[in-house]
Structure 1
Amino acid sequence: MTAQIDPNGPRLVSVPSNPVPEGAQVGYFTTTDRVRLRYARWLRSEGPQRGTVCLVQGRTEYIEKYFETVADFRRRGFAVATFDWRGQGGSDRLIGDRTVGYVDRFDDYWTDLRSFHADILLPDCLGPFYLVGHSMGGLASLSAATRDRMMFDRAFLCAPMVGLHGMEDSLGRTAVIAETASFLGLGKVPFKRRADRRPDEAMFPDNPLTSDLLRYKRMVDTVRADDGLYLGSPSFRWLAAAMRAMLETRQERFPSEIRIPLLILAAARDRIVSTPAIEHLGLRLRTGRHMVIAGARHEMFMESDTIRGQVLAAFDAFITQQSS
């Protein structure tokens, strides 16, 4: 079923396997370049007030996918605020085909995050603010960490998209191909891949996201309840923008430009992003460090209890205990 939190506003999808956490406040905000984004926030549910976690998602994701993780943070004393990036989830889709991922520039995600910080976090949420980012959201978080050291006290990143699995040496060539296609008027055309099909239980055995069947089925159930959440293949324009952003993290100067304490987790069995690229960046960090979670696939917040336990233990050591 689809739950209407505010009859006049955006909705969150609730299914028996993935109910909306109690106390959700849901709305829209508009970025500085006039894109409408869906957001949700929750107060802490237990413990002393420790501040607010700002949770930013990966490509194709949506607020509902993180309900369990929202509850984990709230039990630790954190309020949680999150939003759907432009072009996905319940936010404005940017081109005619809603299932194709599109963005003009990767910096547009910085505009989303900066607008969210100014319009939602600062006026409505209690500090200090902690940034938690996954995959594409991790790459956007790294960019933010080089631009403004006052926005967030710390950043905790899971499988940030600083490279793609199996493409460690071809990002530059792929960027040129995607930029050429965009220049020729094909920027909104999907770069089709078999992996971008709608999720289905039959895809679980060889899926690259999680080894946990129940959590995988929960994702399937949520998209089936509202197909509007689905996002498929990236466009050539998105691909060009993302490749250039990933290449930026390889620059020699990049680690020294990160201005806040940072912890990066990499998944040892990741087949989406490049674990070697994360390790290479982690070894060059000056204000942070990295660790690899054995046995984990790409979506560590959706993984088995054993792996999630390690992720949350790392979060506690890096953020919860430091916020006491």
Structure 2
Amino acid sequence: MDANVNNSLNLFIEYLQIEKNYSQYTIEHYQHDIRGFFLFMSEQGLTSLDAVEYADTRIYLTKLFDQQLSRKSVARRISCMRSFYKFLLREKMVGDNPFSLVSIPKLEKRLPDFFYEEELSQLFNACETDTAIGKRNKALLELLYATGIRVGECCKIQMKDIDLSLSTVLIHGKRKKDRYVPFGSFAQDAIEDYIKNGRPELLKTKEDHGHLFLNFRGGPLTDRGIREILNKLIEKSALTGKIHPHKLRHSFATHMMSNGADMRTVQELMGHAFLSSTQVYTHVTKEHLRNIYMSHHPRA
């Protein structure tokens, strides 16, 4: 295969890191999906990215479905390749975007997965706070639920971004959009305890790099590290299944809307660019109310 193929991927990754400010977790997904397409190119005898035509993309789409991937996974890969070729076209590395006309399969509408308040209580109770790691985990869990921030945003929080006097945190969001998000007394107490009694122990003799959340070596906590922490907390609790940071984000939005918060406020707090992204939580709360009604009304 042409050596420029791998070089183009490296340039695209730099673009995602620097211009788009994507998280490492998202970038790894892009790399995985694009390398999968490179493998397809080798199988089809396509030696350069400019040699790919619309007919090839249709064969690629068929192969994805043959692998019995979900519609969501197929849609993600097609979207990834479309963005990749859009970048290559901008950089004049190809003459056409063969994925521009590929229709992404319609996704089945799924409501966001969230925790009920009783389940969250079990999760919070699973946090032991006698160790520095335990204090960090409690602060992390409380802040994620209190603010609804994305895991990538959580990793970027610096000590200077936390204002304990006002109970707010400065979040550096997607597309370099900053926003201030308040948090409540539970998160405040957990963060204060962690900063005073947990973080110094984790930092040890290492030079302070300013990140709020640290791993056991004293380095900045990564998004992958946060996912592992949450999964371990699930194992300790009485809950079943897996947890993901977005489930806490969904829980934040769902509980805010269920308790009367207006959609515009939730949109601002979550850092959604479009109100339609926030609107899905109105469906969640309606479904939740319907389930309660059907379960408890004597003539339901």
TM-score using structure 1 length = 0.24
TM-score using structure 2 length = 0.26
Q: Give 1 or 2 for the bigger CA radius of gyration.
A: 2
More helix by share: 2
